[in-house]
Amino acid sequence: MVYVRSQKFCCCIPVRFGVFVMSFLGIVGGVFLSFLFWSACFQIKNKALTLQKHEEIILFVSTALYTLYTLVSLFGFIGCLVRRRILVQIYAGVSWTMLLVSIITGSIFLWGLFHTDPEKAYQGCIQTNIDSTGELQSLQQDICRKTSQVFATASRVGITIGFVVFWLLMIYACHVIQSYVSQLEEEEDAYGRNRGRSSTPTTTTSVNVMPVVASPLPTTYGQPYPFTQPPNSYGK
């Protein structure tokens, strides 16, 4: 019987259960997002949807990544059920890759967000509030100015916090998956050592025990005492 201590996360939850839940959610969420992205790709192909060139590239890359992640999540789910280290290890590697891609693309998005001119939002607010005569009240203009500034600041802070929290959760999730890979490696090593010991032939050494027969001790019963004999007596 091979026993390996189960690793935990969040103090008491086994890492195997965490991988089971995350891989299952990865399959469900990946199928949903892949369906949306593939639908958008077919709409672009049929000229039903028009996007800019860089937006199409982002869409195609996202479609490929989430399709791959759905397939790999399935590998992780099966590997968790049958305790196959290679499947869970592939799932862990792709999860770390997705984290890296998310950090890169998210950083580019945040860079563009912080370099966006709030004047565009201000102009959009002005165009929305122009009355039928084509004039804009000064009060409405001030409101548009303040609203665009507040919205720009709040959106930058909120989106940045959202990205950071999402990245931290992904890092912890990848750590849980990697911990389960380490546990499976320990289980395989322990099973291999136990199997090696059980397959080693046991050599027995036979020892021939010779019976020991006690020889009778010499006795002087019925004979003269040796020290009273003439050769051994010094008194005569």
Tell whether 232 is covered by a domain: no
Tell whether 153 is covered by a domain: no
The reported pLDDT for the residue numbered 164 is: 92
Q: At a CB cut-off of 8 Å and minimum separation 6, what does 163 contact?
A: 106, 110
Q: Taken in order 48, 50, 51, 52, is the CA torsion positive or negative?
A: positive
Tell whether 104 is covered by a domain: yes
By the 8 A CB rule, do 87 and 76 touch?
yes
Tell whether 200 is covered by a domain: no
The reported pLDDT for the residue numbered 132 is: 46
Q: Which two tokens stand for residue 113?
A: 């967000």
By the 8 A CB rule, do 7 and 179 touch?
yes
Tell whether 170 is covered by a domain: yes
What count of Cα atoms within 13 Å lies in the side-chain half-sphere of residue 202? Answer: 4
> Which residues in the chain show pLDDT less than 70?
1-4, 117-142, 144-145, 148, 196-236
The reported pLDDT for the residue numbered 168 is: 93
Q: What range defines the domain where residue 100 resides? A: 8-116+158-188
pLDDT in tens, 121-169: 656 666 665 554 445 556 566 676 677 677 777 778 888 898 899 899 9
Domain count for the chain: 1
Tell whether 227 is covered by a domain: no
Tell whether 128 is covered by a domain: no
Tell whether 197 is covered by a domain: no
String of DSSP letters for the chain: ----PPPEETTTEEHHHHHHHHHHHHHHHHHHHHHHHHHHHHHHHTTSS---HHHHHHHHHHHHHHHHHHHHHHHHHHHHHHT-HHHHHHHHHHHHHHHHHHHHHHHHHHHHHHTS-THHHHHHHHHHH--TTS---HHHHHHHHHHHHHHHHHHHHHHHHHHHHHHHHHHHHHHHHHHHHHHHHHHHHHHHHHHHHHHSPPP----PPPPP-PPPPP--TTS--GGGSGGG-S--
The reported pLDDT for the residue numbered 133 is: 47
The reported pLDDT for the residue numbered 234 is: 56
Q: At a CB cut-off of 8 Å and minimum separation 6, what does 176 contact?
A: 9, 15, 18, 19, 22
